[in-house]
Structure 1
Amino acid sequence: MESNIPGFLINQMMPKLEKYCAFQERCVSEVKTKLTRLNVPREYWESLLTHLQENGFVNEERFTELFVRSKIRQKGWGPVKIRMELRKKSIADSMIDNYLSDFQPEDQNELLLSWLRKKLKTLTKDEPLKQREKLVRFGISKGFETGKVFDAVNKIIKAQPED
């Protein structure tokens, strides 16, 4: 494999790429972006990517699993936003579906309700219609399906004590 890669790429670029991939989980599209920034000729990309994949530095499945898990747990993103971001990174829909299927609808609803309750506390006591509008926009921006957002907002507004 490495016989068709010039020595300077093996000696100079490969350690940089390995370090880049070891620092944080990466997907192929991110590595390609890095190769562009490093001005590596395209003719060597495939060989370099193959080396990184064969040596465990790049693994799309592992990347997708960790991306989905971290965006749910740390960022509180919904499935719509996660899917959109993974598509930007050229991850296959089948792989996205596989890992998003672990994000159960009940868990999605609980996460959405939690975010909306937090958001509601930060809103001024506007007209109920304005509050509802802000909550809906917020829920959709977090990446949840529109129908689920409306249902959750209605549930929270109904549970809110009347002043």
Structure 2
Amino acid sequence: MSPLDHYRQMYEYEKECDQKMLAMIESVPNVHRGDARFQQAVTLAGHLAACRENWLDYMDRDGLQQAPWWDSACDLATLPSRYAALQAGWTDYLARLDDDRLASDFQFPIDGGVFYRLKTEIQVVQLIGHASYHRGQIALLVDQLGGETVDTDYADWAVSASA
């Protein structure tokens, strides 16, 4: 399997994990949704969405459609449509990505108008790895709030996907 095919497959796994993550948050009983930990879980899910939206904007568009990286007032009701849109965008981007572009740099602004360069492949790998970290945090919060946690381990997904 080529590296690009591997990244495309890994993103299919990520899309399923996104749905499981949103379902975990939705499973928190209403009685616990006023708890600050609930909003923290929603904020983390919103952060993942923003990261994916923003990096795709930098890598595939003009970089001018940036969402706030952290939104402490993120509304759970907005997340399913955001995830659907960003998943469609990333799936399309990865389908169009070729080996030359994967190995090339893209640039994005940092503080003070300075631009930073990063290999496209580094950010594609980050797309996958970054989410696992925050999904673990969300699962812990959901568990503490009495919601239903779901296994998002890659090995389980890979075995079920190949069966």
Query: TM-score, normalised on structure 2?
Result: 0.26
Query: TM-score, normalised on structure 1?
Result: 0.26
Which structure shows the bigger proportion of residues in strand conformation? 2
Which structure shows the bigger proportion of residues in helix conformation? 1
> Relative CO higher for 1 or 2, CA cutoff 8 Å, sep ≥ 6?
2
